[in-house]
Amino acid sequence: MQEAVRTIAPGHKMENHEVVVVGAGSAGLSSAAALQGRRFQTLVLEGSGAVGARWRSRYEELRLNSWRAMSNLQGFRMPRSFGRYPRRDDFVAYLEGFVLHHQLSVRFNTRLLRIERAGDTWLLQTSECQLLARYVVVATGWDAVPVLPQWPGQEDFTARLLHSSEFHTAKEYTGRRVLVVGAGNSGIDIAGHLVSAGAHVELSMRTPPNLAKRDIFGLPGQPLLVLVADHLPARLSDISFSMTQRLLFGDLAPFGLPRAKDGPYANFHRRLRNPAIDDGFVAALKRGKAKVVAQVERLDGPTVLLADGTRLCPDAVICATGYRRGLEDIVGHLGVLGADGVPLAYEGTPEHPAAPRLYFAGMWGQFSGEIRLGPRHARRIARAASRDRASTATVSSPSVKSQV
């Protein structure tokens, strides 16, 4: 299907475009469709050779935590055959179909290196050429740069050590002893799939997670999150979530998973951390098929030393320890990033006052579903660009006539 996607071959050394969207994931493609729908000449740049590259690289068992009906991008629905929660390959196929449906122009294998000012336009330095664009949307992804812990003795560790972004399938670990580090969304999900595949799983955590399920009493839980978490005050949202969590899972403290100190709403806004969606790990924990252990202190040859003095001898250590945005080299010099590397102005407005016509997509969301918010943010960006184009049209028209 990918062969049918319309691509643009690199042209001259310097190119001019009205809009350049960087990133062919769901946020970037949604933004491109919204802008193109308002008659902007739009080019999408993608650093890899296909759309949805990050989804393609994730583990085989991965599926959306958000309900299919609330995960559609604008103007193109997922088929019912994908099920309630589409799997990785289903979503990749959907993104391919989205490009074809909207006839988006995508240029592959072109990495963005840096964005500079060029008068009232933006200059994009890429791996292939330079581009000038009046409007730029950066949608390079929330999970751009894997973060791997640095433990003493790591250089001499003899077992396999990998980040969760390098984890391909739980089937590779059948019968093996695996230590998963991190009890966030990826860690809990991967641990559950490993148990199902017959691995011996131990989960090392620093902070207890807030836990949720995709379904609540047989129905998708996402609409409830939208109703409660996105519309009630934060404190009430956290209380409601805590009560639901206790109802679904019971008291997990005897199994090594005490209640999280902060509720999910507070946790998200303080640490940008979503609730962990359980896909079988908690049940395995209660059956004694998995175990929660202390934090990792150091690595020592074939063993892992924990903070409580316990030594483990795993065949593999999978670090579900998060990601950075990786925007510092690209736009860090423009003053648009916070200390955590996240764009400063996104939630309320689509651009930073210091960088007009430079927008970010997919860099902020709510734990009730980031894919769901993609079209909303895309429309916000497209409206802002349309207002700017309309406001400058009367100014630019006389100058154009004077040059004729």
Q: What pLDDT shows up at residue 400? A: 35
Query: Would residue 369 be called left, alpha or beta, if left means φ above 0 and alpha means ψ between -120 and 50 degrees?
Result: left
Q: What pLDDT shows up at residue 43? A: 98
Q: Which CATH class is domain 147-319?
A: alpha beta
**Alpha-helical runs (H) found in 277-342:** 281-286, 328-331
Q: What pLDDT shows up at residue 243? A: 86
Query: Would residue 228 be called left, alpha or beta, if left means φ above 0 and alpha means ψ between -120 and 50 degrees?
Result: alpha
Task: Please give the chain's pLDDT, 404 residues, in tens.
Answer: 333 344 444 444 789 999 999 999 999 999 999 999 999 999 999 999 999 999 999 999 999 999 999 999 999 999 999 999 999 999 999 999 999 999 999 999 999 999 999 999 999 999 999 999 999 999 998 889 999 999 999 999 999 999 999 999 999 999 999 999 999 999 999 999 999 999 999 999 998 998 989 998 888 888 877 776 667 777 887 888 888 889 999 999 999 999 888 877 766 666 566 788 998 999 999 999 999 999 999 999 999 999 999 999 999 999 999 999 999 999 999 999 999 898 986 555 788 988 999 999 988 665 667 898 889 999 999 999 999 999 887 555 444 333 32
Angle at 400 between CA 397 and CA 402, to 5 degrees: 110
Both ends of the chain: CA-CA distance in Å? 45
Closest CA to 140 of 41, 59, 270, 53: 53
Q: What pLDDT shows up at residue 272? A: 61
For the chain, the domains span: 2-144+325-403, 147-319
Per-residue burial over 47-78, b if 16 or more Cβ lie within 10 Å, else e, is bbebbbbbbeebbebbbbbbbbebbbbbebeb
Q: H-helix or E-strand containing 22?
A: strand 14-22
Q: Bridge-partner residues for 216, per DSSP? A: 219
Q: What pLDDT shows up at residue 351? A: 87
Q: What pLDDT shows up at residue 222? A: 84
Contact 355, 388 (CB under 8 A): no
Q: What pLDDT shows up at residue 366? A: 59
| Beta-carbon contacts of residue 217 (< 8 Å; ≥ 6 apart) | none
pTM across the whole model: 0.88
Cα–Cα distances in angstroms (integers) from residue 197 to residues 76, 163, 172, 192, 313, in the given order: 35, 19, 9, 9, 20
- 2-144+325-403, what's its fold? FAD/NAD(P)-binding domain (3.50.50)
Q: Are both 2-144+325-403 and 147-319 of the same fold?
A: yes
Closest CA to 4 of 77, 106, 142: 106
